[in-house]
Amino acid sequence: MPIKNRFADLHEEITGWRRHLHENPELLFDTPKTSAFITEKLKEFGCDEVVGGIGRTGVVAVIKGKTDTSGKVIGLRADFDALPILEATGLDYASKNEGVMHACGHDGHTAMLLGAAKYLAETRNFDGTAVMIFQPAEEGGGGGKEMVDDGMMERWNIQEVYGMHNWPQAEVGSFAIRPGPFFAATDQFEIAVEGKGGHGAMPHTVIDTTVVASHIVLALQTIVSRNVNPVENAVVSVTSFETESKAFNVIPQHVLLKGTVRTLTTENRDLAEERLKKLATATAEAYGATATVNYIRGYPAMVNSDVETTYAAEAAASVAGKCEDAPLVMGGEDFAYMLESRPGAYILVGNGDTAMVHHPEYNFNDEAIPAGCSWWAEVVESRMPAK
């Protein structure tokens, strides 16, 4: 795999940064140690500007090329928050913060972007400006939106933005990407069903919320199968069915359903919300109960720009020899907010034969570091070639 020689030299050092981050995971926006570590390294590299507190605890660094006749400004983004998971890897550098773990590889993403920043600050072999974006709270906190809302794009005149995520079970250091919708919108819902509780031996005297809620669960399955165009992708999953009773002989008065909706287009997102509300309330009414729906919109669908996807794929092919076509992913990614603000692209880098992300035995594969760093650097150098 033709990687940049400098990253082979830096591999051990970058691995050390990654493992330090892995040992010291922090959640959402509560990242004082992680933000400080990133800031310290960026200043040590000699970046032209290093600013913290963007999007609460995000960090932005500016690296200027040897020349700036192009006037281009390209943003590179890595996330750095962890997950509330109890680690089960048994690694020497396992989490020291019990119940918190880098189970999605954000430690690797951050270490690779730090490696690219060190290289770019040393070489400056490009014509324009590179902006390193280190983002908190990707795991449900919307840190990407916070940074955009904080005026990051305008403050540094970012014109294009690129992101990367590791992908278990793909060959180490390989790349895959797709134009257009890539990751799904991530909405949540709660349906509170109220009937009339009573004795399990006298169902004729009650309005049985367990029966009503069960019919709602089944009705919701028709949203995808009978409302969404069959050639398009959507998911409606009821993931929690809670009653107020633990007894064998009590029919509960209340049931709470929870779940998630995943869509790739605005049209299907609107459709799913509308149908879910109508099906839940109408089904409950048909059985003499009531249903109150709380629908919470999460991250929007992440949509890669066509032209920038081509640039990203060409940079990947120059590093790995080729770039594969990525599958659609029904998981969410708040890089979507940055791609709503600016054209850009998001790519996957292979993490090898490891546990899947969000698993207590997952670990980022340090062998992917040279490829990831090389891709970051290649994006900058190919989009803003030196004069």
Annotated binding site: 104, 106, 139, 165, 358
Alpha carbon distance 366, 302 (integer Å): 27
Return the beta strands (E) in the chain as ranges.
49-54, 58-64, 73-79, 129-135, 160-167, 175-177, 180-183, 185-194, 198-199, 234-243, 250-251, 254-263, 290-296, 302-304, 324-325, 344-350
Give the number of residues written for the chain.
387
Rounded-to-integer distance, Cα 147 and Cα 139, Å:
15
Q: Give the strand pairing for 73-79 and 160-167.
A: parallel
- Identify the CA nearest to 337 among candidates 143, 187, 151, 178: 143
Cβ atoms 364, 108 nearer than 8 A: yes
What's the first-to-final CA gap in the chain, in angstroms? Answer: 27
Torsion of CA 245, 250, 254, 259, to 10 degrees: 60
Helices 5-23 & 32-45 angle (0-180, nearest 10): 160
What residues contact residue 279 under an 8 Å CB cut-off, 6+ apart? 216, 219, 220, 222, 223
d(CA 256, CA 254): 7
Angle at which helices 266-286 and 209-220 cross, to 10° = 150
Output the known binding site for Mn(2+).
Answer: 104, 106, 139, 165, 358
Neighbours of 238 (CB within 10 A): 18
Q: For residue 64, what are the CA distances in angstroms to 8, 49, 117, 318? A: 24, 9, 11, 23
Tokens at 249, concatenated: 């002989």
Round to whole Å and give the CA distance between 372 and 115.
9
DSSP state for residue 156 in the 8-state scheme: T
Question: Residue 2 and residue 320: Cα distance in Å, rounded?
Answer: 6
